[in-house]
Structure 1
Amino acid sequence: MKKIGGFINPWGNGHFTRMMALDEVIRQNAGDDLDIHYSSSGEIYQKLLKKFPTKKENLHNITIPTPIDGKCGPSITLSLFNILLPVAGRKPLVSVMAKYLIAEGKLYDKQKFDLVVNDGDVGSNIIAEKRNVKSIFITNQFRPKLWVSRSFFYPAVMYISKKIAKATKIVVADSPPPYTICEYNLNFPERLKKKIVYAGHFSNNITVNHGPKSDLEKLIKNADNFGYWMITGNKSTNKATFTKYEKVFHDTEMNNERRIVSHAKNDPSLDKVLGKNGKTYSISEAFEKNIDWIQMDVGFLSEQEKDTV
């Protein structure tokens, strides 16, 4: 039986979402002839436990160094201080990094992986090269272009890109040029292009067996058009994005623009509908009262609702 190791960066939900989409496709095509292990930490490790409750022996809780959250994404200042000093309850990065690499190295030695898939975990990519294990690195950034004010990050960007380049294959979670979401994020040298695969955005191609329509689907059925706004990322990025969206929604031009806002959080309390009358309703209440709505907030869309929206 072949053995695959999946190493997931815990900073943000995108890494987890992509890996779970890949997991589903792998299992559909390989059946039970695979032994798949996953490694991550924090909230992502908890999600793995929830998704694979009968496979706990295949889930490994290894703390992966991540930036410290600020008001709008990572706090550069606090993260730099944390390299050598404890900050916000976190141990110095140098000690965490050492323990993390040792723990992942031991996992490699124990499991003897035939293939590893690293989504954002550069350390695992380094270990795979040293142990001659075939590796796939999933990313949507490679040597991103920096603003002049961030040019001091250039050495770190070059170092990380150099280590990503060691992978057997690099899978880009984006469309190939010139259709990439942000061309400034992808700057591959010519020598690497043979090992690069553009996989789109890991969209779900599974055929959904449609059941009875939900109240959300019924509510949008007669809407001429509406926008779809998604909030993703870690806690601070999520909050900052929502704040920016709220600012846009208050612009005069948005007064009559219907929109669905997906928060990518498993929290039913987020589900609500704002009517054009300024009142707030539950989704079911808005449907029952046939409310003329302007904004619908949803924690998570079901697979059927995603297909409909």
Structure 2
Amino acid sequence: MSLVLAAGAGAAATALVQQLIQRLQRKSSSTKDGEIQERSTTSSAGGGAAAYETKKAVDEYLQFHFAAPEDLLPYANGPKDALYFTARLAALCERHCEALHDFTGERGDPVALDLGCAVGGASFELARAFPHVLGIDYSKHFVDAAELMKSQGVCEFESVVEGDIKQKFVARVPAEIDRSRVRFMQGDACALPATLAPLDCLLAANLLCRLPEPMAFLERCRSVIKPGGVLVLVSPYSWLKGWTDKSKWLGGYYKDGKPVRTAEMVTCVLSPDFDLVAQEDVPFLIREHARKFQWGCSQAMVWKRKGKVV
């Protein structure tokens, strides 16, 4: 049975999100006991998704999503424009999601999905504007950490200083964010359930090139996003065989002697059902240790679903 958000019914929207979570829980419970998830939707590492079911990975992503700017980058001459990555993603969604600017109440409470949410940094930032946010990631350990951030608002993590020397920090959800607006679930971005309610906004940040079936994800976006809703697709296009079989890359290879670029392929797939309304570069910074960082720059493409808005 498809879930349909009733117009003007905030309580109904909450109930629908809860129903979705229950369905996903039943689906996840079918996984064999003790089985480690073999897919993830986040990291730029090349060692495979099992690397995320570790404390080290959780610590790194708590730092990436929640570290204070002065802790993440304690150097005056560093790339400051790469800080606040999750907040900038949420602001991009807010800026282009028309449902947030509907003050009649006829369309119901806007719902956002943070797909590949990791430890939940962008999910909480989305909750500044969206009354209902669902964060989904394939990694159980990431989802567990996100749930801890929701329940406590804080979580201690370790950051590498040099070699085996580590320093403890505290990840914090900003106090002004209503954490009750956010739900988290473990799930597969390549096989979103048919019962998923149509969304006003889907954020997929640094996700596309970490999927085993990226085309399946893009094709599913056609039905999971409401007419007038937005898909905010953010990716550095770091295709690696450890994550995606090369036969399923959307770009980053040559065909008939010509380069195939991911943005062009995404445009071919989405343009029949979506309009490209904005694009920009989104830098980000990942700290490896006190004196070594990964600086990346993802391309953000904002796609608006065609069709009559109801």
Greater C-alpha radius of gyration: 1
TM-score (norm: length of structure 2): 0.33
